[in-house]
Amino acid sequence: MRVRELAEWLGATFEGDGEKELSGVATLETAAESDVAFVGSRKAAAQAAASAAGCLIVSPEWPSPSSRTVIRAPEPRTAFARAMSRFYPTVELPPGIHPTAVVGPDVELGALVHIGPHAVVGDGSKIGVASGIGAGCFIGKRVTIGEGCILHPNVTVYDNVDIGRGTILHSGCVIGADGFGYVMERDRWHKFPQVGRVEIGDFVEIGANSCVDRAALGVTSIGEGTKLDNMVHVAHNCRIGRHVAVAAQTGFSGGVVVEDYALIGGQVGVGDKARIESRAVLGSGCGVLTSKIIRSGETVWGTPARPLKQHLEQLANLARLPEFRREMTELKRRLAELERRV
């Protein structure tokens, strides 16, 4: 692909050799003359001069180069991601049902649906146009999967789950398993029936080995455009909003509400019925106590989670504890010496 063609496809402008041929994408450090790379930070800007990349995707403010070929885009990282999809398009699954797949009665399949080897689709389920069900997937009864979805191999979807269009479920994830609900009676745990549902919006992506539990009563929901990393656990009756991003190994206890555009780091733990308001940021490893409210736009860190400035101040004080101890020891020594003189 030529630079001119890529810029046109991105809806961007270019400077330099528009006829230069590009064959791939790469980082600034590893790019060759036929690769395109991007400059998205100050550190990258410092590395750009030494890069062998044939074309750089840069911001409109980037200084005009004397000899380099560049494509100017308002968001270089986003433009680079789109360029990657052009050089490495998604492999299309061939329509059809593999002979080893099991498809129950009253199943509705849209046009161009792919169902892979040893997959199971339960009675009364619906799979939308051009969706792909990978090898070994299990789809329960009365499941609705929208158009253009991809279920990678070995995904499990329990009964009565709705999944919106364009959603991607990675291998090993489980949607609709029972929530962790029990009641104590006569010194024994008894199961609280989990009879609710799961609803997943459009264009959601859920990583490998993540779990979204069905509600005890009502609905566990994941909003449009939300992205869950690998090994994320969403417990019963949680409501995760639109365009939320959650990094790996994070767990949400029952009844948690996460509002739109919140950002949640890895290994975060969120207690029962906590509320994370819109555009809040939870730093990696922090712990949110039961029923705690993280206010809109607030950045928190630590356990228990607290405002970032306060967390950093406390860390600084902890770092000074050895010094405080030495000073206290010296003060005790001086006081003892004064007492002996008296």
The residues near 283 (Cβ < 8 Å, ≥ 6 apart) are 265, 268, 299, 300, 301, 302, 308, 311
Q: How many angstroms separate the CA atoms of 143 and 117, rounded?
A: 19
Would you state the structure tokens that stand for residue 318, as one six-digit string?
């902890």
Length of the chain: 342
Tell me whether residue 114 is one of the annotated catalytic residues. Answer: no
Half-sphere exposure of 316 (CA within 13 A, CB side): 6
Q: How many angstroms separate the CA atoms of 253 and 267, rounded?
A: 13
The residues near 212 (Cβ < 8 Å, ≥ 6 apart) are 173, 174, 175, 176, 198, 200, 206, 220, 222, 234
Q: Which of 47, 48, 41, 42 is nearest to 67 (CA)?
A: 48
309 φ, ψ (degrees, to nearest 5): -60, -45
Catalytic, out of 114, 152, 233, 236: 236
Q: 63 near 81, Cβ under 8 Å?
A: no
Would you state the structure tokens that stand for residue 159, as one six-digit string?
């009964």
Q: 299 near 306, Cβ under 8 Å?
A: no
267 φ, ψ (degrees, to nearest 5): 55, 35
Q: Which of 158, 254, 252, 152 is nearest to 209 (CA)?
A: 152
What's the CA dihedral at 226, 144, 179, 120 to 10 degrees?
-120
CB atoms within 10 A of CB 220: 29
Which sequence positions are flagged as catalytic?
A: 236
